[in-house]
Amino acid sequence: MSNYSFIAGAAVLACTSGLAFGQCDVDPSTATFQQNDPTVCGGDDPANDPNYGCVTPPAETGGIQDIGVLSAGDTVVAGTCGFSAALATDYDNYNFELTQPGFLTYTVRTDLDGLGTETSPGIVVLTGAQSLDCATNELGGFYLMPCDSQPWGVDVLTQPGRYGIEVWNFDDGSGYTLSDCSTEYSVTISFTPLAYAECGDPASGNCTEVIAGVGGCQDVSCCEFVCDLDSACCETEWDAFCVQFAVDGCGFYIYECTDPNATVANDCVGGAVSYAVPGDDSVAVSFDTTGCNTDGPPQDQCGSGVGFEQLQNDIWYVVSTDIDGFLSASTCDGGAEWDTKIAVYNYDAASFDPASLPDLYLACNEDCGDAFFASSVQWEVTAGTTYLVRVGGYDAASFGPGVMTLTSASLPTFVCDAPVDAVSVTQNADPTVAEGGVSCAGGGITTANEYARKFLSRPAELIGCVDFGVNNGGSAQLSSIRIFADSDAGAAPVLASMTEINGTEVYIPGGGYQGLVTVSYEAQVEIPDGTNVVVVYDSVASTDGFSTIGANQLGETSETYIRSDACGIADYLAYSAIGFPGVAWVMDYKTWDGGGPVTCTGDLNLDGEVNGADLTILLGSWGTNDPVADLSGDGLVGGADLTIMLGSWGSCPAP
């Protein structure tokens, strides 16, 4: 059980993009160290350039400006760089020494006001190990540094040694205006020495292990935290008390399987039961977690909230399949009538160490949206590769019997071979996918969501393919596009009055993919005349990120709709109804080669005839308020509806 809310998935870009160089103001005169080549521009005389840097003989030679031992705090190097009239590059190379380990952060600032333009390609800043004699010269870095950028991260652990910084103006050959050595820059080196030299020392061990006579451990942050509590952990020995501090305070995991249930062979991970799921098939696995212990690590990625990170009373399976594609594990839809969680881990029997489970984590799901808060997780797989599947409960009171369904599905991808005369049916003013949409999510991880567009009273047509926008910051998914006929003539889709015409699974790329995905149909989908067509993107729950529709705010002729059981939306609601007007799902479908069958009153399955198949549907809804079979509209499926159907028996008349 988890708390979910709506989150907008529009991309948020870091403030290091764009080339707005004229925005920063750099004053080299305030730097700790200024360049020592103020009279040399662009390598006009590199033999005399005292900080030209390392070159390979017999090329032009230069030197390195040594700024000495780096002190704690901020050290700023600054100067100008650019090109000579002959377009020779001016390199500025600085070098410093670290005499003790610590954390480094580089911050770059540039100012091209001297150019009177913001069209310069900017500067390159390289850093890395570099000796004064150039025997070691391992510089690397980033191009096009915007003003006030921090491309190397913050507080990077760096060992004692010699390090270099090289700055130069960049010409990428694209016609930018080049600086005549008026590009001002500064690089701030922020250094925080380690409080305990033993932290991070290769001679120290794992923070969860006692090493006799050796202080400290290899995880620097945890080591400093523990040694601040007890300096003897660094100065004398990393003993059992230090290990316990690390486990309790740093979140380290020590594998233990205590008092397992003797009647459940797979209560401990070492007894995991194996299942090979045939390609494009399913296997039902019965289980019971009653009386089982908990031996796996807490997984906050499940999105259960603070205090509920653990999968309680867990059991284990090793799962594989013989095709590339997706595996899913589900206790939903009656598989378990209690609050489950399912997590997945990478697994190699030859090298598996239970203590490494946190590092092997792959995916997790807490709720699939059914009434019992059961779970369903899906992950991309390679044929023959094994994975650990862990089934547990939301809290200590969540356990019991159930059935887990393991399903293997191949990778479905499509290409739309629409003819040149195909008609595109869309409600978007512009087909550009510019941002993510709005989705139900918990802990930043999206649950199952349905997104819909409704097209009223369509003519008879044959749908050949659907193009739709997605934005997926998590792992790849196997989701589906479904096409419905809605007997309700209102603008919003109504779940109870929708009849599914087609459902097709489709591969959704992950890893930050934003763009269009296509579903095509070998046999075109027939749409009868007058049908209210609803196209639904049925997005499965993400395992590790934010997955939503691809959208824009460039206008639409009808609203985008969303449905999500996890957020309490049992029927489709417009984005505007949840506070997001103007966010438009990018989607169209293409039709060609004429129209679909003619339908009529009583043709419940939309095949162009009123016959026994329709009668079966009506009788199956007898006594209910099923809007599909309630032909009279009186709210009850009964004799009046049967009379109407029998009066329309046979082929539907041509329009």
Q: Kindly state whether residues 460 and 544 are assigned to the same domain.
A: yes
| Claim to verify: residue 327 and residue 451 sit in the same structural domain | no
The CATH code of the domain that includes 584 is 2.60.120
Would you say the C-alpha torsion 133, 138, 143, 149 has a positive or negative sign?
negative
DSSP H helices, 332-433, are 357-360
Find the Cα–Cα–Cα–Cα dihedral 359, 364, 366, 368, rounded to 10°. Answer: 180
Strand pairing category for 156-158 and 312-321: unpaired
Question: β-pairing, 156-158 with 102-111?
Answer: antiparallel
- On whether residue 442 sits in a domain, the answer given is yes
- Measure the CA angle with vertex 500, ends 496 and 501; round to 5°: 150
Round to whole Å and give the CA distance between 319 and 389: 7
Is residue 285 located within the same domain as residue 399? yes
- pLDDT digit string, tens, across residues 555-578: 999 999 999 988 889 999 999 988
Q: Could you tell me if residue 298 is inside a domain?
A: yes
Angle between helices 612-620 and 639-647 (to 10 degrees): 170
Q: Would you state the pLDDT for residue 146?
A: 58
Give, as one character, the DSSP assignment of residue 171: -
- How far apart, in whole angstroms, are the C-alpha atoms of residue 160 and residue 579? 54
Please indicate, yes or no, whether residues 536 and 398 belong to a single structural domain of this protein: no
Domain assignment of residue 237, yes or no = no
Q: How many angstroms separate the first and last alpha carbons of the chain?
A: 52
Q: How many residues does the chain have?
A: 655
Mean pLDDT for all residues in the chain? 85
Q: Distance (Å, rounded) from C-alpha 322 to C-alpha 383?
A: 5
CB 94 within 8 A of CB 28: no
In angstroms and rounded to an integer, the radius of gyration of the C-alpha atoms of the chain is 32
- SS3 category, 460: coil
Same-domain pairing of 180 and 284: no
- Taking the C-alpha atoms of residue 430 and residue 586, their distance in angstroms, rounded to an integer, is 8
CA–CA distances in Å: residue 258 to residues 148, 262, 273, 333: 53, 11, 19, 32
Phi/psi of residue 360, nearest 5 degrees: -95, 0
Domain-embedded: residue 559:
yes
Residues 446 and 495 in one domain: yes
Q: Where are the alpha helices (DSSP H) in 42-185?
A: none
3-state secondary structure 69-87: ECCCEEEEEEEEECECCCC
Q: Do 486 and 510 lie in a common domain?
A: yes
DSSP letter at 190 equals E
Question: Considering 409, 443, 463, which residue would you say is the last residue of a domain?
Answer: 409
In a domain, 59, yes or no: yes
Which of 193, 215, 250 is the C-terminal boundary of a domain? 193
Does 562 lie in the same domain as 431? yes
Q: Does the pLDDT at position 61 exceed 80?
A: no
Residue keyed to tokens 């046999």: 523
- Final residue of a structural domain among 560, 591, 622: 591
Is the pLDDT at 107 greater than 50, yes or no? Answer: yes
Secondary structure (DSSP) of 555-574: -BSS--EEEEGGGTEEEEEE
The better pLDDT of the pair 166, 318 is held by 318
Most confident region among 34-48, 360-374, 457-471 by mean pLDDT = 457-471
What pLDDT is stored for residue 11 in this prediction? 27
Is 492 domain-assigned? yes
Q: Would you place residue 89 in the very low, low, confident or very high pLDDT band (cuts 50, 70, 90)?
A: confident
pLDDT at 386 over 70: yes
In this structure, the answer to whether residues 562 and 510 fall within a common structural domain is yes
In a shared domain, residues 144 and 68 = yes
* 471 & 564 share domain: yes
Distance CA 90, CA 180 (A): 10
Shared domain for 334 and 461, answered yes or no, is no
53 and 91 in contact (C-beta within 8 Å)?
yes
Kindly report the CATH number assigned to the domain that includes residue 313. 2.60.120.380
Q: Which residue has the higher pLDDT, 48 or 600?
A: 600
Q: Could you tell me which residue, 273 or 133, shows the higher pLDDT?
A: 273
pLDDT classification of 1: cutoffs 50, 70, 90: low
**Residue 345 pLDDT more than 70?**
yes
pLDDT in tens, 503-539: 999 999 988 899 999 999 989 999 999 999 999 999 9
Range of the domain at 90: 21-193
* Per-residue pLDDT tens digits for 331-342: 998 999 999 999
Query: How many domains is the chain built from?
Result: 4
Separation in Å, CA 392 to CA 28, 287, 292, 293: 60, 11, 9, 10
Contact indicator for 293, 396 with CB cutoff of 8 Å = no
- Structural tokens at position 640: 């009046």
Q: Is residue 653 predicted with pLDDT exceeding 90?
A: no
Closest CA to 406 of 277, 256, 545, 224: 277
Tell me if 439 sits within 8 A of 10, measured CB to CB.
no
User: Rounded to the nearest 5°, which phi and psi values hold at 243?
Assistant: -60, -45
Collect all residues with Cβ–Cβ distance below 8 Å to 643 and sequence separation of at least 6: none
In a domain, 632, yes or no: yes
Q: State the pLDDT at residue 36.
A: 87
- Is a pLDDT exceeding 70 seen at residue 121? no
Is 255 inside any structural domain? no
